[in-house]
Amino acid sequence: MSAAASDTMRAVVITRFGGPEVLEVRTVPLPLAAAGEILVRVRATALNRADLLQRQGRYPAPPGAPADIPGMEFAGEVASCGPGAERWKEGDRVFGIVAGGSYAEYLTCHESVVSRVPDSMDWEMAGSIPEVFVTAHDAMITQAGLRAGETVLIHAAGSGVALAAMQLARELGARVLGTARTADKIERARAYGLTSGLTVGGSLEALPEWVKSETEGRGADVVLDLVGGDYPAASIAAAAPRARIMLIGTVAGPMATLPLGMLLGKRITMRGTVLRARSVEEKAAAMRAFEAEVVPLLASGAVTSVIDRTFTLDDAAAAHRYLESNESFGKVVLGVMQ
């Protein structure tokens, strides 16, 4: 039986493609947990760049996900369990990732794509964590294999994923270099593990030599590129021999011209990665790694999510405008049910 009070809920709906004004809070049918799924009463969610793209019509939700309700991470309580779902019980505090639908009072997801929220953590903090920390851990450690003593270069140093990655790299014993468009974000990022930072404006021309000067001429062993556009080419020039470059975002543009001779000569591995399009099994594997290696660090306070500002569900349009301003440092959170 569902613990929800009715068969409807409030959710932020993309009424048409366009600017933040197309987001409206509407009453919609309550989703039903299918076999192996749980129904979660959402307490908090957070914004991601993919939400902005979905609203603009540039990043449609994958099959099976709500087409018109954005949101890819959440924290809340298990309201009920579908047939065969046995990992959780009603009332358990969980956080996790979904392909869409978290800007709502309730959502359904497979029971394997959530983890238990540490007892000491409040809902806003919990809701800001899954997407950035799972992405950072999966890309930088699981896939790129960052090791103690190596140097990682992280672009967009003020973003949620970057700040999560910096802290994980610090705990691992790696050296962290970063870039941002403002000196203020560089300075603020130092508190989260940034060893040295470069303020970049309209040009990345200085990046390769700066990285070499910071690494005794070697270059970066791992690069997390959250920007796209001109950054992949500059990252190749700044990378060490046999470096691993992870492409995570395309906020600066989805197209790039690459110096292939340099890519080949340095024997660089360049890989694209997303969470949203993965199968349930792949997402579950990423969550289990997060659960084993990251949640204990969150519970102890060794690492933390950086929350810039919290909005209510009714103010989702204002939250989108704020994220699009590029003024945020860390996560923008939506409080859902209190």
The predicted structure's pLDDT at residue 2: 46
By percentage, how much of the chain surpasses pLDDT 70? 99
Residue 225 contacts residue 247 (beta carbons within 8 Å): yes
The predicted structure's pLDDT at residue 1: 36
The predicted structure's pLDDT at residue 3: 61
- Name the nearest CA neighbour of 47 among 276, 309, 284: 309
DSSP strand pairing (151-154 vs 220-225): parallel
Residue 174: what residue type? A
* H/E run at residue 161: helix 160-172
Residue 271 contacts residue 245 (beta carbons within 8 Å): yes
Say if residue 120's pLDDT is above 60. Answer: yes
Site of tokens 């087409």 = 67
Q: Which residues pair with 154 in a beta bridge?
A: 178, 224
Say if residue 291's pLDDT is above 50. Answer: yes
By percentage, how much of the chain surpasses pLDDT 90? 95
Residue 332: what residue type? V
Sign of CA dihedral 293, 298, 301, 305: positive
Q: What is the arithmetic mean of pLDDT over 160-185?
A: 97
Q: Of the given ranges (56-65, 81-90, 184-193, 285-294), which has the lowest mean pLDDT?
A: 56-65
Measured distance CA(228)–CA(241) in Å, rounded: 21
Tokens standing for 150?
A: 């190596």
Measured distance CA(20)–CA(13) in Å, rounded: 11
- pLDDT tens for 230-274 read 999 999 999 999 999 999 999 889 999 999 999 999 999 999 999
The predicted structure's pLDDT at residue 6: 84
Q: Which residues pair with 163 in a beta bridge?
A: none
Q: What is the arithmetic mean of pLDDT over 284-310?
A: 98
- Name the nearest CA neighbour of 145 among 243, 47, 236: 243
The predicted structure's pLDDT at residue 338: 72
Residue 289: pLDDT band by 50, 70, 90 thresholds?
very high
Hey, what domains does the chain have and what are their CATH numbers?
8-129+305-335 (3.90.180.10), 135-272 (3.90.180.10)
